[in-house]
Amino acid sequence: MGESDSPRVRILRSLAENEIMAEMRARGADYQAVEQLRTRASWIGAIFLGLPMEHSVNLRKKAKEVGVQAFLCRSLSTRGRGQEVADVILAGTAEDLKRLSESLQEKEGGLGWALAQAIGNWQGDRRREWHCGDRRLALGEKTLVMGILNVTPDSFSGDGLGSDGDIERGLQQAK
């Protein structure tokens, strides 16, 4: 997978909240496979969206090696038109998924990195950035928005009364 083809992955909440099972059902997963997961309420899941079939099969094999359940499902994404793709749903403990991401980084770098990043974001231990064009906005380093000052004529009083000097006061407060 090239850099422009970086895999899309997101973490699914615990089985106790039924999110993993809902995703599996939406993709036509075998009913018995879905039901066998019900007893593992402490598990979380991850879903890789629209992976080429070759990567999906390799991911499933690697997952099995480290004790993570992996389900290949029909893809709901439009990515990969013209080639066979699958969504892969993983289920296991957070520690199991971390082990899988480390294992994948050895041979399937992009998949392992994407899973590690998703786990890190889910656990809140990674710095986050918003990307917009060529600009990056690092969240959590310093206060970026102090407040929002609404000075439209219909703000609060409805008739615009008392808004004299609001912008100047707001600028002074920002200093």
Question: Above 60 in pLDDT, residue 58?
Answer: yes
Q: What is the mean pLDDT of residues 113-124?
A: 83
Q: Is the model's pTM score more than 0.85?
A: no
- What percent of the chain stands above pLDDT 70? 60
pLDDT for res 3: 42
Q: What is the mean pLDDT of residues 117-135?
A: 73
Q: What is the mean pLDDT of residues 65-70?
A: 90
**174 band by pLDDT with thresholds 50, 70 and 90:** confident
Q: What is the mean pLDDT of the chain?
A: 74
CA triple 73-9-112, angle to 5 deg: 105
Domains in the chain (CATH in brackets) are 3-127 (3.30.1360), 130-174 (no CATH)
